[in-house]
Amino acid sequence: MAEVPAGGTVLAAPPSGPLPAVPPDGALVVYAQPGRVVEIACAIAPGATLFEVARASGVLQRCPGLDLGDARLGVWGKLRDPASPAAPGDRIEIYRALVADPKASRSARARKKARQKK
């Protein structure tokens, strides 16, 4: 996957090959769904925010159920305000809402493990 077609590329999860080529003045917009990761390399307009870059990347056309208004955004694993300015080289990640409460899930696993030991 040496070149990225216009609008980016969709990879199967987990990506096994090289990441899409990001333009020198661009960013990578990433959205993970169960069983699939969407990675789109795109250019950044001067002064663009994370939200604007994510919207302009075309991720909404590839993931019709995605609502950027409710989604949280981050850069390289760090949560950021969607109104933050985007910078060249950013990996803009779109985070999905949690399906289950992590604390409750951990408690349930611990109870199950304790029952299995008895």
The CATH number linked to 88 is 3.10.20.90
* Chain mean position to CA 31: 3
- Residue at 4 is within a domain: no
Residue 1 lies in a domain: no
Q: pTM of the predicted model, to two decimals?
A: 0.68
pLDDT band with cut points at 50, 70 and 90 for residue 17 = low
The pLDDT confidence band at residue 20, using thresholds 50, 70 and 90, is low
Q: Which domain holds residue 86?
A: 9-117
Give 41-93 pLDDT, tens digit per residue: 888 888 999 999 988 888 888 888 877 888 889 999 999 999 999 999 899 99
Other beta carbons within 10 Å of 29: 27
Amino acid identity, position 98: L
Please state the separation of Cα 29 from the chain's center in Å: 6
Distance, in Å, from the CA atom of 39 to the CA atom of 32, rounded to the nearest integer, reads: 9
The radius of gyration of the chain from alpha carbons, rounded to an integer in Å, stands at 17
